[in-house]
């Protein structure tokens, strides 16, 4: 197993076994459900905003390891960020996951977000890309909901 594969496995398993920001928020600004019927992943995203920033984000996920790990990393990546910053991270992540081929995309990510790069390993298994993207697409809906309420 290559070093990249090992990093991929370890990082994913760590987030899968200890998902960050797992749970619910009482009276959130947005509560969105996401489903990936291909795999059976289901999740509920809770979003709470304050002064234009993501004050709290929580996920309740019943999904596969990729789905749970990706959601866990996502909550860490966007917590405390402004909507613009969060949209930028979402855009970079989707670009990375949807880039054609097995080319590793060099991401301009701050050090605390480097775990996200491990998810590029998922690209070897195209059916799992949807699992990795589900939490992020649900977050986009959540942000749109919050923005619609402004």
Shortest reach from residue 108's CB to Zn ion, in Å:
27
Dig out the tokens for 108 from the structure. Answer: 């301009």
Positions in 80-99 near Zn ion (CB under 5 A) = none
Q: Is there binding between residue 122 and Zn ion (CB under 5 A)? A: no
Residue 147, classed as helix, strand or coil, is: helix
Positions in 44-73 near Zn ion (CB under 5 A) = 64, 67
For Zn ion, which residue of 8, 16, 41, 49 counts as binding (CB under 5 A)?
41
Q: Is there binding between residue 138 and Zn ion (CB under 5 A)? A: no
**CA-based nearest residue to 72, from 29, 116, 110:** 116
In terms of phi and psi (left: phi > 0; alpha: psi -120 to 50; beta: otherwise), the region of 53 is: beta
d(CA 88, CA 147): 16
d(CA 13, CA 145): 31
For Zn ion, which residue of 131, 133, 139, 143 counts as binding (CB under 5 A)?
131
Q: How many residues bind Zn ion (CB under 5 A)?
A: 5
Residues found near Zn ion in the complex (CB under 5 A): 39, 41, 64, 67, 131
């Amino acid at each position: 197993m290559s070093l990249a594969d090992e990093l991929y496995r370890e990082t994913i398993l760590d987030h899968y076994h200890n998902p960050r920001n797992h749970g619910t928020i009482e009276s959130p600004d947005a509560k969105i459900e996401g489903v990936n019927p291909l795999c059976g992943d289901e999740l509920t995203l809770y979003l709470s905003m304050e002064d234009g920033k993501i004050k709290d984000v929580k996920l309740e996920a019943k999904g596969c390891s990729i789905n749970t790990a990706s959601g866990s990393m996502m909550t860490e990546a966007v917590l405390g960020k402004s909507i613009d910053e969060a949209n930028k991270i979402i855009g970079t992540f989707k670009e990375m996951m949807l880039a054609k081929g097995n080319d590793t995309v060099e991401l301009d990510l701050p050090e605390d977000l480097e775990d996200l790069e491990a998810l590029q390993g998922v690209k070897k298994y195209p059916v799992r890309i949807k699992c990795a993207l589900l939490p992020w697409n649900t977050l986009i809906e959540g942000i749109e909901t919050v923005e619609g309420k402004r």
